[in-house]
Amino acid sequence: MVGKALSKFLPAGHMPRPVAQNPSIAQSDLSLQSATLKTLADMEMRSQEIQELQARVQKMPQADDQASPGSAASFGWLAGFIASVGLAASVGVAAVRKYSSHGQHGSEPTLGSQISLVPQRTGLVTMKSEIVLADKELEGKIMSVVNATPGNTKSAAMCSQMSAANLDRIRMDEEDGGCNPAGPPFTNATGLGWDTSTEPKNKEDMIDLANKLNPVIGFWDPLGIVTEDTAPETIGWFRHAEIKHGRVAMAGFVGYCVHANGITFPWNIQAPLDYGPGWPFTKELATVSFADISAAGSPGDMWDALPTAGKLQILLVVGFLEMHGESSLALEADGQKHYVRGGKPGYYPKIRGRYPHPVPLDLWDPVGFTKKMSEERKAKALLAEVNNGRLAMIGLFGLICASKGLIVPGLDSLDLARYGGEYMAPFTAGDSILPFVEGMARSIGSYGYAL
């Protein structure tokens, strides 16, 4: 039975043949191989059962014209489910086959045909180690350093050179492309990059954009941010800020609803880690599950209940993503420009292949939904995204206000869990291990108001 099951999934050349047993083979390896053969046999039996069930489904009478759409959909769903189970079983067998076909235990020739579940190392992964920039002189300077480094550190050299070059650009004079120390909103109107840019750069362009976003309201600017004298750099900065905050608010609104309903992952967020004698750092960590965090109360209480290390990890990752998104080198490598230099507001540069650590997906559009979109379709989708982001910002702020006991029409009657902490304080007294946090925590609630 085992041999029959194995012959179905392994080519003849990879079938195990009787060989002289070498006493150096570990008994645990033999047990593992025996368990593998038994698993393959079980898979063969399940595969036959699935095929029989599929045949039965195909023989079922089809729904007539008077049957409800739900009945026909039920048969289709069942057939699809069966096919999915069969596909999952096939993938599992393929994985076993992959490891089995490459199995080599040691270097002895008598073991060449034995099955092993230990995958062979394929060597170091070669990361992307080249960059294409509009500034060919800078490109040549970066690549000369990268090419002179060993192969296993080329990506690290690329990362450090890009960061150094980006800092040099920031420190340049504004008329040469540098940044005002107070930030892009205060950058002088040098006009660099805007002569060829198709992005809105003046009040007339912003009125046209507002009419596309909402023709009913149109251009509404009660704070007078955009005037005839507003620099294009300032317009680009505010547009990018709105798109980015809208995206964060959309994620935050969904996250608030998920957490407020007690939906959590089933595993631990923190647990003790013991790496042997002499390891003092994580042995005494308390076990904290996602359910423990959820039991703290409102989403605001859940953030306060997070371990300090978890908060730091989140803040550091967000800081890194912010740094990468603002890097003119990373943008230029994608053929883009910074949003204060005539670039596209809301564009986030690719991460894959830019840093030493392997990154399987990009932050923006990780699965490639927009790759085949036309530019017109992308522009229309961006308008919808801006509108949805504006609604999400209003919605998230409404949830925050309602959780503090304020009257918010439509939300104050939902019986949301109240939050007694301070939303503007990222750390509490429980994070006093961090510098300055203890003094900051004493000031919470002492600014003339209490909610």
Q: How confident is the model over 340-349, as pLDDT tens digits?
A: 889 999 999 9
Domain ranges within the chain, ordered by starting residue: 2-58+73-111, 184-443
φ and ψ at residue 289, rounded to 5 degrees: -100, 165
Average pLDDT for residues 316-338, to the nearest whole number?
90
CA distance 228 to 233: 13
Separation CA 154–CA 146 (nearest Å): 5
Mean confidence (pLDDT) of the chain: 75
pLDDT, one tens digit per residue, over 242-252 is: 999 999 999 99
Residue 181 to residue 188: CA distance in whole angstroms: 11
For residue 20, give the 3-state DSSP assignment: coil
CA distances from 357 to 325, 352, 425, 441 (A): 17, 9, 32, 36
Name which residue leads in pLDDT, 291 or 143. 291
Q: For residue 152, give the DSSP letter.
A: G
Task: Give pLDDT tens digits for 33-83.
Answer: 555 555 555 655 655 555 565 555 444 444 333 333 333 333 333 334 433
Which of the two residues, 288 and 66, has the higher pLDDT score?
288
Nearest alpha carbon to residue 285 among 300, 268, 302, 301: 268
Share of the chain above pLDDT 70, in %: 67
The answer to whether 423 touches 401, Cβ cutoff 8 Å, is: no
Instruction: Name the residue among 259, 294, 256 with its Cα closest to residue 392.
Output: 256
- pLDDT at 142 exceeding the cut of 50: yes
Query: Can you tell me the distance from the alpha carbon of 141 to that of 147, in angstroms, rounded to the nearest whole number?
Result: 10
What are 422's two structure tokens? 């301070």
How far apart are the C-alpha atoms of 438 and 423, rounded to whole Å?
Answer: 17
Q: Dump pLDDT digits (tens) for 394-449.
A: 999 999 999 998 889 988 788 899 998 889 888 988 898 899 888 888 877 666 55
Please give the structure tokens belonging to residue 208: 């046209």
pTM confidence score: 0.65
154-203 pLDDT, tens digit each: 777 877 888 888 888 878 877 777 777 666 666 667 778 898 999 999 99
- Read off the pLDDT of residues 98-133 as tens digits, 9 standing for 90 and up: 434 444 444 333 333 333 333 333 333 344 456 778
From 334, 339, 370, 367, select the one nearest 349 (Cα to Cα): 334
Residue 289 DSSP label:
E
